[in-house]
Chain A
Amino acid sequence: MRYALLVQGGPYSSQASHSALRFARAVIERGHCLATVFFYHDGVYNAARLSAPPQDEPHLGDGWRLLHDEHGTELLVCIAAGLRRGLLDQREAARHGKEGYSLEEPFELTGLGQLVEAGFSHDRLITFSP
């Protein structure tokens, strides 16, 4: 089956991101395709490029990146939710006249339409909220 996850909790402030990443690995281990993870609400902070948790804690951002690198999972970040919260890729940073940027590949800023699309084009959509 093709799975999509919707992650709405901020990393390190609620358990939602941990639960989602844990579930993501279990889905893949079962032989399913985890095609898409969509980050919305405070879940967009999972994509923060400069996240630097203590070394004895799981690095959630790296966890997501690994899913992309090893399994080709799309990591989609709602652009409207992201821009409001300061998550800009290089292109958006330039467009808004900002120095530096806070989000980079493999995370992608996309429209909310991609969430709706994921909901209808995958066999399962599982939501993890704070």
Chain B
Amino acid sequence: MILHLLNRSPVTSRVIDDALAAMGPDDRMLLIEDGVSGGLPAQALFFKNLAGRLFALREDLVSRGLLERCGEHVTIIDVEGFVDLTEEANKTVSWY
């Protein structure tokens, strides 16, 4: 399993296309920094194939006022959860 970090909004950057195309069926994606706007319900369709495999970093949601606005398509994790994900993945690849 590979962990993919995405720090761009799915609306403004097409890097999400490359990231999604590179993901295997068990791979996971973690939204960080500007990527957490992908947690908005209106953005859920971008991640429709990632049910149960999409995560967003809590502190980046909180600082942007997005925590309460997050949809159910993402699992919210804190920075300890971020470390967990990197432990569980045999590689981490960053998309920016």
Q: Which chain A residues have a beta carbon within 8 Å of chain B's beta carbons?
A: 1, 3, 15-16, 19, 22-23, 26-27, 29-30, 32, 124-130
Contact = CB atoms under 8 A, between A and B. Distances in A.
B94 A127 contact: yes
A16 B94 CA distance: 11
Given A15-B33, A124-B86, A126-B86, A22 B92 contact: no
A9 B34 CA distance: 14
A127 B87 contact: no
A128 B32 CA distance: 10
Given A15-B33, A19-B32, A19-B33, A129 B96 contact: yes
Contacts of B86: 3, 124, 126
B83 A23 contact: yes
A23 B96 CA distance: 17
B82 interface: yes
Nearest to B59: A22
Nearest to B84: A30
B79 interface: yes
Given A19-B32, A26-B79, A26-B80, A126 B92 contact: yes
Chain A interface helix/strand/loop/mixed: mixed
B33 A124 contact: no
A5 B80 CA distance: 16
Nearest to A22: B79
Chain B interface helix/strand/loop/mixed: helix
Contacts of A23: 79, 82-83
A27 to B, nearest CB: 6
B9 interface: no
A116 to B, nearest CB: 15
Query: Nearest 10 A-B pairs (CB), nearest first?
Result: A127-B94, A129-B96, A26-B79, A15-B33, A126-B92, A26-B83, A30-B83, A129-B94, A124-B86, A27-B83
21 contacts: A1-B87, A3-B86, A15-B7, A15-B34, A16-B7, A19-B7, A19-B32, A22-B59, A23-B83, A26-B79, A26-B83, A27-B83, A30-B83, A32-B83, A124-B92, A125-B92, A126-B5, A127-B92, A127-B94, A128-B94, A130-B96
